[in-house]
Chain A
Amino acid sequence: MKTMADVKTNKLTLVQAVTDGLRTMMKEHDDVLVLGEDVGKNGGVFRATDGLVDEFGEDRIVDTPLAEAGIIGTSIGLAINGFRPVAEMQFLGFIYPAYEQIMTHASRIRTRTMSRFNVPMVIRAPYGAGIRAPEIHSDSVEALFTHMPGIKVVVPSNPYDAKGLLIASIEDPDPVLFMEPMRSYRSIKSDVPEEKYTVELGKGAKVTEGDDVTVIAWGNMVAVAQKAVEKIEKEQGVSCELLDLRTLYPLDKDIIAESVMKTGRAVIVHEAPSTGGVGNDVLSIINDNAFLYLRAPVEKVAGFDTPIPFFSLEEDYLPTPDRVLKSIENVVTF
Chain B
Amino acid sequence: MEKEFPIKQIIDGNGNLIDSTFGSEITEELLKELYTKMLRARTLDRKSANLQRQGRIGTYAPFEGQEAAQVGSASALEKGDWMFPTYRDHAATLTFGHSLSTILLYWKGRVEGCVPPEGKNIFPPAVPIATQLPHATGAALAEKRKGSDRVSIAYFGDGATSEGDFHEGLNFASVFKAPVVFFNQNNGYAISVPIEKQMNSKTIAQKSVSYDIDGVRVDGNDVFAVYFETKKAIEKARKGEGPTLIEAVTWRYGAHTTADDPTKYRDQELSAEKRKLTDPLLRIERYMEKQGVWEEGWKAQVQKQCEEEIEKAVVEMEAYPEADVNDIFDHVFEEPTWTIKQQKEAFLSMKRGETV
Contacts and interface: CB of A to CB of B under 8 A. Distances in A.
Interface residues of B, number: 41
Contacts of A275: none
A110 B145 CA distance: 23
A77 B115 contact: no
Given A69-B164, A104-B131, A253-B338, A114 B138 contact: no
A116 interface: yes
Given A112-B124, A113-B124, A250-B338, A77 B332 contact: no
Nearest to B328: A111
A174 B112 contact: no
A77 B169 CA distance: 11
Contacts of B176: 62
A109 B168 contact: no
B193 interface: no
A62 B152 CA distance: 20
B142 A77 contact: yes
Contact of B334 (A72, A116, A173, A253): A173
Given A73-B135, A114-B112, A65 B172 contact: yes
B334 A70 contact: no
Interface residues of A, number: 44
Contacts, number: 131
B327 interface: yes
A113 B171 CA distance: 28
B318 interface: no
Interface string B97-125: 00000000000000110111000000110
B226 interface: no
A239 interface: no
A261 interface: no
Contacts of B332: 110-111, 149-150
Nearest to B116: A116
A249 B338 CA distance: 10
A213 B270 CA distance: 75
11 contacts: A59-B145, A64-B172, A65-B171, A69-B165, A74-B138, A74-B169, A77-B152, A79-B138, A80-B135, A115-B334, A253-B338
Interface of A: 59, 62, 64-65, 67, 69-70, 72-83, 85, 97, 100-101, 104-105, 109-118, 149-150, 152, 173-174, 202, 249-250, 253
List of 8 A-B pairs having minimum Cβ-Cβ separation, nearest first: A77-B138, A73-B134, A70-B168, A81-B142, A250-B337, A74-B138, A77-B139, A77-B135
